[in-house]
Structure 1
């Protein structure tokens, strides 16, 4: 199987979602990128994972697929993911040596560090949508993530 063709263009809309059986178990992730009328769909899964990890993986893989710097409108139902960027949580974690305000180690530091690197290449704008509320592309990306999770059974 060939790797997907990277999306190119100045303005990209990226939908991402993760799904997990429980807070720790089989998980799937998916992302849909739209640019200039072209669409790229990416998805995958992991065993022994968490929903948050799958949310991070979905965004990371979407950003990695972009061949050059873009203006990326990230549409997500993950408040955790959105707020980490928009409320400067990531900067605070970095200043604290990847510790939370409660002095706990930040979970999924490997993915956060990779996301920081990918995010530097792009201009990201986050839009939060309520999950399972009828938003077409969010519902679609959720179903893709669920399908990937089910493949692992």
Structure 2
């Protein structure tokens, strides 16, 4: 879900000529985009231990969306630590989950 959330956010961006900063409490997403993805591509979507990359299709989609933008920076924030944006994102996710529970049989 961490990858899917970022992918869906990029799909809503209607321009590609601005700098985008992605603040995420997911080390998986931030490290993946900042440190791992280029080597995975170079190694035919294999990790350094030669095993296939998990969630390859999602990483490929995110990489393509990011590369369609002029400039993107991924920044790690600590979750549940008072970061205003992170707390608001958590609030919205919990609200959406509550709404889904109320309409799901």
- Relative to the length of structure 1, the TM-score reads 0.59
Would you tell me which structure has more strand in proportion to its own residues? 1
- Does structure 1 residue 107 correspond to structure 2 residue 90? no
More helix by share: 2
5 Å-filtered alignment, 1:113-152, equals 113-122=60-69, 123-150=71-98, 151=100
Q: Deviations over 1:106-147 (max 9, x none)?
A: 111111111111101211112211000011110111122233
Map 1:1-153 to 2 at 5 A: 54-69=1-16, 70-87=18-35, 89-122=36-69, 123-150=71-98, 151=100
Instruction: Kindly provide the CA deviation profile for residues 55-78 of structure 1, in whole angstroms up to 9, marking residues without a partner as x.
Output: 111111111111120210111111
Give the gaps of 5 or more residues in structure 2: none
> Aligned equivalents of 1:57 and 1:136: distance in 2?
22
Matched pairs, number = 99
Which structure has more relative contact order (CA 8 Å, sep 6+)? It is 2
RMSD: 1.6
Q: Deviations over 1:24-81 (max 9, x none)?
A: xxxxxxxxxxxxxxxxxxxxxxxxxxxxxx1111111111111120210111111111
Report the Cα distance in structure 2 between the residues aligned to 1:146 and 1:95, rounded to whole angstroms.
38
Unaligned stretches of 5+ residues in structure 1: 1-53
- Whole-angstrom distance in 2 between the partners of 1:124 and 1:133: 24
Please report the TM-score for the alignment, with normalisation by the length of structure 2.
0.83
Inter-partner Cα distance in structure 1 for 2:61 and 2:32 = 14
